[in-house]
Amino acid sequence: MKALVFDRFGGPEVLEFRDIPEPQPALGTVIVRMKAIGLNFADVYRRKGNYHLAGEPPYILGYEGAGVIENVGYGVEGLREGDRIAFADVPFANAELVSVPVERAIPLPDSITFEQAASLLLQGLTAHYLVHDSYRVLAGDEVLVHAAAGGVGQLLTQLCKAKGARVLGLTSSDAKREKALHAGADEVLLYGSGVDRHWVKAARDWSSNGKGVKVAYDSVGSTLMDSFSAVRIKGVVVFYGMAGGDPQHVDPRMLMDTSKTLTGGDLWNHITTRQDRVERSEALFTELHEGRLRVDMPTTFPLSEGKQAHRLLESRASTGKILLIP
């Protein structure tokens, strides 16, 4: 079979599209013929050697995708050849065929395309636990979403709006501001540069009582203390990423004095069983089917053109999902 592989760490130029042995059916697994593969920044970090990779070269990137079961291993129940499935955390997905453990296989309804599933799952599952577990968003809540034009940010905005919340987005450019507004944000502010933090005051002024929002979802990291300034007394800051750098240390006395809450978030602490994956995915599919959640058309590349796809992702010129198509 063909796969996108690399033998050494580096830039997109290390990627090669070549033949490797096909995966064989094993106990508790299914072999999936891939139809769409999600590209994520984690793939870039692994290609560069920033994340630990087990085993020996050739390495294969990719963890998210969708396809059709071609072979069923021993001991698998409830899945058959020809079934459509998707997954968010199965390695070696940058290939024509992928071995998927049954506990990570998510049944795909006919109403959801392979491209929609590969565009939605990883970021959608993240947004889902953020609004249901890290902080349970309620109707009338005022929510601040960092990086609101990003993949998670757009889905997070939509899920909050579906619950009846007011959403204030933060982005880094006018073009991204328009993207966040298109996703449903009630208002979008631009990040300042250097010591310019006008958005913090603007966020408080935007809130209905002028004292700050109820919850801030911070995936930037370096903005953590600004997020605390933007939430009201007894407000919540959800910290779930460090795209902008490490956060400052938080003084617990500040939390005590303001009755504010800091909570962390990581998807894999919330999705630990197949039931978790299936139930949360079905909830996302329902939101998508009923129009409360929208996934923009992805940018697609043939799997053979993986180098170009990686270059586009690293350029940060794209705001939507990038897919690789075998």
Q: What is the pTM of this model?
A: 0.92
- Distances 75 to 45, 90, 108, 148, 279 between C-alpha atoms, Å: 35, 19, 21, 43, 22
Pick the residue with more confidence: 157 or 50? 157
pLDDT tens-digit series, residues 53-108:
777 889 999 999 999 999 999 999 999 999 999 999 999 999 999 999 999 999 99
Structure confidence at residue 281 as a pLDDT band (50, 70, 90): very high
Q: What is the mean pLDDT of the chain?
A: 93
**Cα 2 to Cα 98: distance, rounded to the nearest angstrom:** 11
Delineate the domains of the chain, giving CATH numbers in brackets: 2-120+270-325 (3.90.180.10), 139-264 (3.40.50.720)
pLDDT tens-digit series, residues 189-200:
999 754 445 899
For residue 115, give both structure tokens.
């491209």
- Distances 147 to 66, 138, 222, 300 between C-alpha atoms, Å: 27, 21, 12, 23
With a CB cutoff of 8 Å and minimum separation 6, the contacts of 160 are 131, 137, 141, 143, 145, 167
Residue 17 neighbours by CB distance under 10 Å: 15
Over range 5-19, report the average pLDDT: 96
**Cα 3 to Cα 98: distance, rounded to the nearest angstrom:** 10
**Cα 317 to Cα 324: distance, rounded to the nearest angstrom:** 17
For the chain, percent of residues with pLDDT exceeding 90? 86
| Phi, psi (rounded to 5 degrees) for 297 | -60, 130
**Cα 118 to Cα 66: distance, rounded to the nearest angstrom:** 6
| Phi, psi (rounded to 5 degrees) for 10 | 160, -155
